[in-house]
Structure 1
Amino acid sequence: MAAIQSGSNRSSLLTRQQAGAHYELSARRFLERKGLRFIAANVHARGGEIDLIMQHDAVIVFVEVRYRRSDLFGGAAASVTRRKQQKLLHVAQYWLARTSGSFDTVDCRFDVLAFTGNEIEWLTNAFTADV
């Protein structure tokens, strides 16, 4: 569970879901400051979810947001395993099909925005559909 102060004056921990929402919103704001435009959040398909879908110029960007309190067991970016990448690819393919597109017709990339402690790491094009 992430140690993040709640909105009130009392000290408490946020649930895993609340912490996830906090970091996804932080990621969205970070990327918008970098010039990306928000399209969607928390897109679900059987077996997976994409945290954010953004647009960078003409490129659709599927973003996985990760958080780890420390890098003791590897940073947040290290937690995006091959299996997780496969799930993200599946959901992206589903979303593209629903918007009349595919990996062949739409320029897209997969980014990871990793929060490790107080550090932010933005991995553009972290993996490809060829995985």
Structure 2
Amino acid sequence: MGHVPQEPIRPEGANFQFQRRERRRVTPRRLDRPRQGLTTPETKHNQSFGAWGEELVATWYREHGYDIVARNWRCRQGEIDIIASSGSVLVICEVKTRANADFGSPASAVDVNKQQRLRRLAAHWLSDNPNSRVSVRFDVAAVIGPKEKVTLEVIEAAF
């Protein structure tokens, strides 16, 4: 039948080390960056500052006769900050909070991609809640300033 070699076939002059499976080297983790999922003091501050802005906007909606249906509603595609209703209108509100207006209005941060994402999220919420209102309106709320001197701007039917 023939000879069956016991050793792997190597090109002439090749070392056996080239036949081994290569292992991927893991780069060491940079110590100056926190690992994903860990919070830093800046992250905690930003989250609490954003939550404070969302609370202000929710209070504004209540004072103007809206019922808060949901806050921070999440699904795989993202999050809706505030869902409010008044009569037959369902309001999807994106809240942007900034300490100052040095980089422009916070509302300008709601770009076309964010608008499309909010539309998809609204459709997903409506599919989960079939008994909901018929008319949907998208608002953007901009909260600017420190807690002592705050400016609140709600842009109704922003897009």
TM-score range, shorter chain: 0.7 to 0.9
Aligned to 2:70: 40
Give the root-mean-square deviation of aligned CA atoms: 1.9
Where structure 1 has 5 or more consecutive residues not aligned to the other structure, the ranges are 1-11
Deviation by residue 1:2-61 (Cα, 9 ceiling, x = unmatched): xxxxxxxxxx98522211211111110011101111100111122311000000221000
- Percent of paired sites with the same residue: 35
Matched residue, 1:119: 151
Pairwise CA distance, 1:84: 0.9
Whole-angstrom CA distance in 2 between matches of 1:54 and 1:80: 19
Question: Is 2:96 the counterpart of 1:66?
Answer: yes
Q: Take 1:88 and 1:21, find their aligned partners in 2: how far apart are those partners?
A: 19
Structure-to-structure mapping, 1:65-104, within 5 angstroms: 65-100=95-130
Q: Aligned pairs, how many?
A: 114
The aligned counterpart of 2:38 is: none
Q: Measure, in 1, the Cα distance between the counterparts of 2:47 and 2:122.
A: 22
| Inter-CA distance 92–101: structure 2 relative to 1 (3 Å threshold) | farther
Structure with bigger gyration radius: 2
* Structure 2 unaligned blocks of 5 or more: 1-40
Task: Select between 13-22 and 81-90 the one with higher mean Cα deviation.
Answer: 13-22
| Matched residue, 2:137 | 109
Deviation string 1:68-91 (CA, Å, 9 cap, x unpaired) is 122221111111111111111111
- Between 1 and 2, higher relative CO (CA 8 Å, sep ≥ 6) is seen in 1
Q: Does 1:27 align with 2:27?
A: no
If the length of structure 2 is used for normalisation, what is the TM-score? 0.66
